[in-house]
Amino acid sequence: MIRFATSGLSSQTVGQEPFRLRQLLFPGMLLLMIVGLSGQALRGERSLSGWMQLERNLIERQAELADLQKRNDELQLRVYRLSNESLDFDYLDERARRVLGLTRTDETVIFNLPETP
């Protein structure tokens, strides 16, 4: 049986040190710290879920980077084809027709417009 500091002596508690609440102070604070740190490890900004969110963002950004690199390569090829060192006349003719809407006199232009209901 536990003898508290406020309880009187009995035959079952003779010779035992009285139990004081301050003896629970250190283990109680330690338990609170462990629970608090465990909660932060699971739910905080720098937690396990935060780490998984960062990994998902990294995968998305890597996919976006791959798309941008592909687009950059296409643009560099277009610039190279229009540069003075390697002017591609077929490509220049195609771009002039698309951008400026130019045609030759012997060509017929057919517009494919969507039907309106």
Does 85 lie in the same domain as 58?
Answer: yes
3 state SS for the chain: CCCECCCCCCCCCCCCCCECHHHHHHHHHHHHHHHHHHHHHHHCCCCHHHHHHHHHHHHHHHHHHHHHHHHHHHHHHHHHHHCCCCCCHHHHHHHHHHHHCCCCCCCCCCCCCCCCC
- CB-CB contact of 2 with 19 (8 Å): yes
Does 97 lie in the same domain as 57?
Answer: yes
In the structure, what pLDDT confidence band is assigned to residue 102 with cuts at 50, 70 and 90?
A: confident
pTM: 0.48
Does 66 lie in the same domain as 37?
Answer: no
Does 31 lie in the same domain as 50?
Answer: no
Does 26 lie in the same domain as 54?
Answer: no
In the structure, what pLDDT confidence band is assigned to residue 13 with cuts at 50, 70 and 90?
A: low
What is the structure's pLDDT at 80?
86
Does 74 lie in the same domain as 88?
Answer: yes
Domain extent at residue 17: 1-43
How many independent structural domains does the chain possess?
2
Domain membership of residue 108 (yes or no) is no
